[in-house]
Amino acid sequence: MRTALVILLLLSGPWSPVSASRLEHGRAERATGMSGARDRARVLLELARTLDPERPVEALAHRRTALHFAEQSKDLELVHRVLVELRQNELNAGGLDGLLKASLRALEVSQALERPAVVANDLAWLSRTYAEMGQPIRAMEESQRALLAVRDLGDSLRLAHAHLDVMERMIAAGRYREAQEQGHLADAVLVRRADVQEQARRWVLSATALLDQWKPADALPCLGKAASLLGRSGPPVLWTALWKEQARAALALGDMRGADRHLDSLEVLLTRTGDRSERLHYLDLRQQQARALGSEREALAFLDQQMKLKDSLLNAQMARQLAGLEALYQVSNKDRDNAMLRERSAMNEAIAGSAQRRSRLLLILLGLVSAVVVLFGTTLFHVRRVIGRVRHKNQLIREQGDQLQAQNLELQRQNARLARSLMAESEKDLMLREIHHRVKNDLQVVSTLVRLRALHESSDGSREALEDLERRVQAMALVHDRLYRSNDLRHIGLGEHLQELVTGVVRSFAAEQRVAVTVTCSVEAVPTTMLIPLGLLVNELVMNSLKHGFPEGRTGSIRLELEAWNGHGLRLSYQDDGVGLDTASGLCAGSFGHDLVHALSEQLEGELRVCDGQGHRVELLACWGEAPLRAVG
């Protein structure tokens, strides 16, 4: 019996020749699979390049699949090559999330490869990605990192180009003085290397910074230098920027003839290039020109064209993003199907191997029974025990396999429901942003119509009432604009919103130089249903102070504080040092301002306290709980 067991262990043990050959075969298969993943990635990359001109969505799907195989192959060179093409594909398709992921992954791979030039290029791409996503501060920071990486390369011309990239990002972030310093650093190298186009770009960027600071007279020499450097050559994008800034400068200086000449040139160029995003800026400049000439009808016509083009661009971007999501969904389905096929193949191989081992064991047992007649009874007993155990284990394995298969099917159903829920939530978010965007546009049109009516009103009282109405409409439009541009539709930056609102009202009264405004806000966010009544209330208080608290050019200050109160509420304190209610009539009982302020405080479920002494002081205590806010009657 002992001899039989020893023979059985030798034939079926883990160190048998059959097991060793199977182990070597498995290693060879894994090596072949890794090589196959590399080849598949390269083939998919070539296929995507052929599909780029006519079927970019399919090209995007192939590149995403190629990235999957490239990651499997562990070939970092191939991974980076796929990521470089994928991020350009994502940019063309408007998929900003995919663009950001590809840019970050490309930077990570280039850092692992330890190639400084490639790292600098990937940092520049990451800066461009943040600029496309509307994050100028992050874009500026990444461009500065790219500048530091280029500085270590020792290439002076590339360093000058990097300085200009940082200059452009700083202008977008409002850092004009630092931007001009970057331009000076680049200028010396560009002049020495006789890079005419980049010199012209440097002067156009300088003019843009000056125009953003309302210095059109200082911008004209910069634009003249750029034009003289370009002569009759230069890429269309540079001429587009030059003529656009020349038109801005001419409009700011009141040179309507010069502005018209530059805009005509810009229109011809845009007709040839078909750049629809730059056409938006062109239509805006045409609208400003028409308003400056007093042609309100023509200004409205240009505004209507601008809104239609903006909606068209937004719809095109949404279509590209939906196509990218569909491609990603198809790739995910293919990956899931491939994984299921691999699992089934592995399961079949395991079952076949188990059957082979069981058959071999039975043959060995039969041979032992035939050879050892003397030990027939004992051997038969042990054989039956072994067979029973094997069958019991197989039954347990089958039952566990059925349980695992049922759990796998349930997980797949849950994943499908989760995917549908995520897609529905994404579509809902896009729809809400579109609604806020359209409501903001409609309110802007209403504000423009009210302004036009006020310009044609002969009565001072009627004109003043229409101007107040326009400010109230602008206050509501500002809320929808904030919601449209906010990353979280349920909350917006309340402090920035109030600062922008109060500053806009003071600017509309041309009181920036004589009335100082201080806005302090320690509340991060409030429910969106409170934003419009709260904004209208603040708008009404500031209008009252500017109209009645600081008459005849009187100087003073306005202080607005917003802080948390009672755990689930807020306290709004408003105070000015004007003449007070003794001589002001804006919030006197029975007036429209008085009724509106009290109606808004009731809508906010708040308690309004009005104090008067040295100046005018208003305090509002409001809370939000489970009860819904009441509408203004």
**CA 179 – CA 331 distance, rounded (Å):** 43
Tokens in use for 343? 């699992």
- Give a yes or no: residue 496 inside a domain: yes
Mean pLDDT by 10 residues, the chain (633 residues): 42 39 40 65 87 81 86 88 86 80 88 88 88 87 88 83 87 87 83 80 87 88 85 81 86 85 82 79 81 82 76 65 58 62 72 83 85 80 86 87 85 83 70 67 75 74 74 72 64 80 86 90 82 86 86 87 85 87 52 81 85 79 57 35
Q: What residues are paired with 517 via a beta bridge?
A: 558
Rounded Cα distance, 24 and 256, in Å: 83
Q: Which residues contact 322 (CB under 8 A, 6 or more apart)?
A: none
Kindly state the tokens that stand for 29: 């298969």
Residue 328 and residue 57: Cα distance in Å, rounded?
10
Start-to-end Cα distance in the chain:
100
d(CA 160, CA 186): 4
Q: Are residues 419 and 519 in the same domain?
A: no
- Position 522 scores a pLDDT of 87
Quote the tokens at residue 233. 């050559």
3-state secondary structure of 518: strand
Entry pTM:
0.45
Q: Look at residue 31 and tell me if it is in a domain.
A: no
* Class of residue 450 by CB neighbours under 10 A (exposed 0-12, middle 13-18, buried 19+): buried
pLDDT for position 401: 82
Question: CA 485 → CA 133, 422, 488, 592, distances in Å?
Answer: 11, 21, 9, 33
Contact 535/501 with Cβ under 8 angstroms?
A: yes
Total count of domains within the chain? 2
161 in any annotated domain:
no
Is residue 587 domain-resident?
A: yes
- 102 vs 80: CA distance, rounded Å: 10
User: Do both 407 and 502 map to the same domain?
Assistant: no
DSSP classification of residue 513: T
Closest to 123 (Cα-Cα) out of 150, 98, 158:
150
Region for 234 from its dihedrals, namely left if φ exceeds 0, alpha if ψ lies in -120 to 50, beta otherwise? left
- The pLDDT assigned to 320 comes to 57
Residues of the domain holding 611: 491-633
Give the pair of three-digit tokens for residue 597: 């302020």
Q: What is the pLDDT of residue 589?
A: 57
Considering the domain architecture, whether residues 428 and 500 belong to the same structural domain is answered as no
Q: Is 404 in the same domain as 495? A: no
Torsion of CA 396, 401, 404, 410, to 10 degrees: -120
Asked whether residue 390 falls in the same domain as residue 502, the answer is no
Domain membership of residue 114 (yes or no) is: no
Query: Could you say which DSSP state residue 261 is in?
Result: H
Indicate the residue among 416, 433, 450 that finishes a domain: 433
Whether the CA torsion 74, 75, 78, 84 is positive or negative: it is positive
Residue 33 confidence (pLDDT): 46
| Residue 614 shares a structural domain with residue 496 | yes
Residue 186 inside a domain? The answer is no
187: tokens are 């200028």
**What CA–CA distance (Å, rounded) separates 420 from 332?**
13
- For residue 460, being part of any structural domain is answered with no
Please check whether residue 161 is in contact with residue 168, taking contact to mean a CB–CB distance below 8 angstroms: no
Cβ atoms within 10 Å of 165's Cβ, excluding its own? 23
Same domain for 533 and 624, yes or no, is yes
Whether the Cβ atoms of residue 73 and residue 37 lie closer than 8 Å to each other? yes
CA angle, 338 as apex, 332 and 344 as ends, to 5°? 135
Query: What are the strands of the beta sheet with 606-613, ordered from one edge?
Result: 515-521, 556-565, 569-576, 615-623, 606-613
Q: Residue 59 domain-assigned? A: no
Whether residue 508 is found in the same domain as residue 629: yes
Q: Which CATH number belongs to the domain containing residue 531 in this structure? A: 3.30.565.10
Beta-carbon neighbour count of residue 531 at 10 Å?
Answer: 22
Within this chain, do residues 426 and 515 fall inside the same structural domain, yes or no? no
Q: CA-CA distance, 430 to 225, in Å (whole number)?
A: 44
For position 570, what pLDDT does the model report?
87
What is the per-residue pLDDT for 559?
A: 92
- Tell me, yes or no, whether 515 and 581 share the same domain: yes
